[in-house]
Amino acid sequence: MAERDLLLVINAGSSSLKVEGFDANDSALSTCIRGTFSGIGTVHPHLVISDGDDNTLIDVLPMAHQSLDADQAQTLLADQLTPLLPGRVVAVGHRIVHGGPSFDRPVILDTHVLEQLAALTPLAPLHQPANLAPVRSILRRRPDLPQIGCFDTAFHHDHEPMVERLPIPEALHEEGVRRYGFHGLSYEYIAGQLPTVAPEIAQGRVVVAHLGNGCSLCALHKGRSIDSSMGFTALDGLPMGSRPGRLDAGVLLYLMQQKRLGPEAMEQLLYHECGLQALSGISSDVQVLSAKSDARADFALAYLARRVAMGISELATALGGLDGIVFTAGIGEHSARLRRLTCTWLGWLGIALDDTANQRHASCISALHSERPVHVIPTDEARMIAEHVRTFLSTPH
Ligand SMILES: Nc1ncnc2c1ncn2[C@@H]1O[C@H](COP(=O)(O)OP(=O)(O)O)[C@@H](O)[C@H]1O
Ligand SMILES: CC(=O)OP(=O)(O)O
Ligand SMILES: [Mg+2]
């Protein structure tokens, strides 16, 4: 049998590394292999590799009870996955979180582009180094292999000036201190799903809640992003697992002036010690918090839900109305409780859930009498990247 051509997609996150291989010659881009390394940087690293039919091929807890850094995880995943690849890799697509003002579409990742993207690290310290590390290591081993970067920021690139601008001096705006928005590959995938999954709202005004490790909201009008809750960095907007979201800038001044916190301590605090972790004092993980019978865990979840609901109302104003809501990503797809808590705040908008459908994580979870539909749509950033890579490769440059 002739060897298959594979498109490999790498989504290197702050605490996870996901790799998926797609059949490049199949018009439906079927998945051939999937590797997920979770718990990187924690004492519970876990690597699972499965085939296209979701059969587990490898399931390991490497160096149990010992933390693994991103480089070690990458090497281990590459060593385990490479012999199992069911074909020849013809291109690699990467999720790159920050594209800054310049990168508004997929691009070949050569050394020159890598330098420009590395310069954006201060704007995404949690993500950018992890995103770029696998690109460099593949470039060293297979310099001939096309590697294509797909950006979280790109889907938001044509926001209106009033959306993009921060109320700070223009010189800062000109040097790139502006609102970009993130999770764009996820929102683009959801926008592409709406015509089939929720055709009644696809051409309307929809707020999508991407609630995962990082949380954000996107205002979609006719499938295009017109605003987002995230801004200059992935610290803005909603509270997240360990990030605070929107924060009174006076708190930062207080920390610098009164607590004498320097840049590194500030980064550690803002990216790792805030959000649900700080609110609960227990965990940044909604699944862990949901399993606890603990007032602090309840407080943290109720807090997140209130802020998600307030964010949805704000974006409904930006849209001039609201035709529907979509929940997606780890929490949005799996936490019936978080969805119920959020939608309870939105009763004034005529939103009501069907509790049974919500518990089942059904595609439509709103009650028949709800004035606006509420959907749960699983996101698929990897597939979105694979589609971009295929289009990129078939377009003359
Ligand atoms: N069954 C579940 N119930 C509640 N929360 C869940 C469930 N599965 C995943 N989550 C939550 O989703 C979040 C991770 O989301 P995910 O989109 O996978 O993150 P990442 O940004 O790392 O891709 C965690 O808070 C996790 O607890
Ligand atoms: C941009 C961002 O916050 O991404 P993630 O949810 O993967 O952390
Ligand atoms: Mg994510």
- Say yes or no to pLDDT of 1 above 60: no
Please report, for residues 24, 88, 262, 264, the alpha-carbon distance to residue 394 in angstroms, rounded to integers and kept in the order given.
11, 18, 48, 44
- Segment 189-193 shows an average pLDDT of 98
Cα 209 to ligand 1 centroid, rounded to whole Å: 13
Reported ipTM: 0.98
Active-site residue flag, 152 = yes
Say how many Å lie between the CA of residue 268 and the centre of ligand 3.
20
Identical fold between 5-151 and 200-376 = yes
Which of ligand 2's atoms lies nearest the C-alpha of 11?
7
Which pLDDT value is given to residue 334? 98
- 358 carries a ligand binding annotation: no
Pairing of strands 107-108, 147-151: antiparallel
For residue 66, name the pLDDT band (cuts at 50, 70, 90): low
Rg (CA), the chain: 21
pLDDT band at 15 (very low <50, low <70, confident <90, very high): confident
User: pLDDT for 309-350, tens place per residue?
Assistant: 999 999 999 999 999 999 999 999 999 999 999 999 999 999
Architecture of domain 200-376: 2-Layer Sandwich (3.30)
Q: Helix/strand/coil (H, E, C) string of the chain?
A: CCCCEEEEEEEECCCCEEEEEEECCCCCCCEEEEEEEECCCCCCCEEEEEECCCCEEEEECCCCCCCCCHHHHHHHHHHHHHHHCCCEEEEEEEEECCCCCCCCCCEECCHHHHHHHHCCHHHCCCCHHHHHHHHHHHHHHCCCCCEEEEECCHHHCCCCHHHHCCCCCHHHHHCCCCCCCCCHHHHHHHHHHHHHHCCCCCCCEEEEEEECCCEEEEEEECCEEEEECCCCCCCCCCCCCCCCCCCCHHHHHHHHHCCCCCHHHHHHHHHHCCHHHHHHCCCCCHHHHHHCCCHHHHHHHHHHHHHHHHHHHHHHHHHCCCCEEEEEHHHHHHCHHHHHHHHHHHHHHCCCECHHHHHCCCCECECCCCCCCEEECCCCHHHHHHHHHHHHHHCCC
pLDDT at 73 over 90: no
Question: How do residues 116-143 score in pLDDT, each as one tens digit?
Answer: 999 999 999 989 999 999 999 999 999 9
Residue 127 beta carbon below 6 angstroms from any ligand 1 atom: no
371 pLDDT tier (thresholds 50, 70, 90)? very high
- The single residue listed with the structure tokens 């309840």 is 298
**Residue 21: CB within 6 Å of ligand 1?**
no
Mean pLDDT of 236-264: 97
Instruction: For the chain, give the mean pLDDT.
Output: 95
Give dist(CA 20, CA 299) in Å, integer. Answer: 37
The neighbouring-strand residues paired with 59 are 48
**Residue 39 region by backbone torsions, left for phi larger than 0, else alpha for psi between -120 and 50, else beta:** left
Residue nearest to atom 2 of ligand 2 (CA): 214
CB within 8 Å of 233: residues ≥ 6 apart: 123, 124
Q: Is the CB of 13 under 6 A from ligand 2?
A: yes
Residue 70 has pLDDT above 90, yes or no: no
Burial (Cβ within 10 Å: 0-12, 13-18, ≥19) of residue 17: buried
pLDDT tier at 69 (50, 70, 90 boundaries)?
confident
Give the residue with greater pLDDT, 257 vs 64.
257
Residue 343: its pLDDT value, please? 98
Residue 292 is predicted with a pLDDT of: 94
pLDDT at 2: 61
The mean per-residue pLDDT over the stretch 295-302 comes to 98
Locate the domains of the chain by residue range: 5-151, 200-376
**What confidence tens digit (pLDDT) does each residue in 30-51 have?**
999 999 998 787 777 889 999 9
| Average pLDDT for 292-307 | 97
CA of 203 to the centre of ligand 2 (A): 27
Residue 62 scores a pLDDT above 80: no
Show the tokens assigned to 49.
């590799």
Per the DSSP assignment, residues forming a β-bridge with 151 are: 96
Distance of CA 37 to the CA centre of its chain: 16
Q: What's the pLDDT tens digit per position in 340-359?
A: 999 999 999 999 999 999 99
What pLDDT score was predicted for residue 273? 96
- What percentage of residues in the chain have a pLDDT greater than 70? 98
CATH of domain 5-151: 3.30.420.40
Q: In one letter, which amino acid is 86?
A: P
| pLDDT recorded at residue 281 | 97
**Which range among 41-50, 93-102, 156-165 shows the weakest confidence by mean pLDDT?**
41-50
Q: Is 275 in the pocket of ligand 1 (CB under 6 A)?
A: no
Predicted confidence band of residue 65 (pLDDT cuts 50, 70, 90): low
**Closest listed residue to residue 219, CA positions, set 234, 233, 230:** 230
pLDDT digits (tens, 9 = 90+) for 214-223: 999 999 999 9
